[in-house]
Amino acid sequence: MLEALTGIGLATSAGLNAYVPLLAVGLSARYSGLIALPPSWQWLTNGWVIAILALLLAIEFVADKVPVVDHVNDVVQTVVRPTAGGLAFGAAAGSQTVMVTDPGQFFSGHQWVPIALGVLISLTVHGAKASVRPVVNTTTAGLGAPVVSTIEDIGSVALSLVAILVPVLVLALLVAMVAGFWALRRRRRRRKAEKRAARLENGATKI
C-alpha cells in the first residue's frame, strides 16, 4: 500500500515537473536508505543520469516561467511528463520492468500495470496544468506565469518529498491540489460570466 502511495505521489509530481521526482528518487537511492531500488532501476542512481536530470530540470525551471515559451514547453512535455510519471511509479513500486528480457512475462505478470498507472496519472495532471496556463497568461498579461510556475515547482518538490518520506500524506496533498484546481476553474467561469454580463449591460446602455 505504501509503495502504491509513493508511486501515485511521484507520478503526480511528474505531471507538474518531469524531472523533480526522478531526481528525488535517484538522489534518495544514491545518498540515503529512503528508497531501495531494485537492480533494474539502479540506473537512476548513476552520477551522469543525476547530472543530466539536474540540467534538464534547470532548463525546465526557466522555460516554464516565460509566457509563450511555457506553452511550447508544455507541448514538448506532453510526452516527457507521462513517461517520467511511468518511470517514477514503476521505480517506487519495485517493478522489474526497465530491462525486459521476456515480453510474455512482462504482460502476463502484470508488470506493466505500475508504469501504465504512472503514465495515466501524469498525463492527467499535465493536461490540467497545460489547460490552466494559457488562461493565467491571458488574464494576467503574462505576469502570472512565473508565479504559477513557481507554485507548481514547489508542489512537485513537496509531493516528491512527501511520497518518499511520508507516503500516507500523499492523499491529503492530492485532495488539496484538486480543490485548488477546481477553485481556479470556478473563478475563471465567474470572471467570464461577469465580463459577459458587463458586455450585455454596455450594449443595453448604448441602445
pLDDT digits (tens, 9 = 90+) for 82-136: 888 888 887 776 543 333 344 344 444 455 677 788 888 888 888 888 887 777 7
Q: Which of 117, 152, 160 is nearest to 132 (CA)?
A: 152
| Rounded Cα distance, 58 and 48, in Å | 15
CB 177 within 8 A of CB 121: no
Query: What are the residue boundaries of the structural domains of the chain, listed by start?
Result: 2-174
DSSP designation for 190: H
Tens of pLDDT, residue by residue over 12-57, are: 899 989 899 999 988 988 888 777 777 777 888 899 999 999 999 9
Least confident piece of the model among 16-20, 138-142, 156-160, 165-169: 138-142
Task: For the chain, report the end-to-end CA distance as a whole number of angstroms.
Answer: 65
Give me the amino acid identity at 37.
Answer: L
Main-chain phi, psi angles of 100, to 5 degrees: -90, 115
Dihedral angle sign, alpha carbons of residues 119, 69, 19, 136: negative
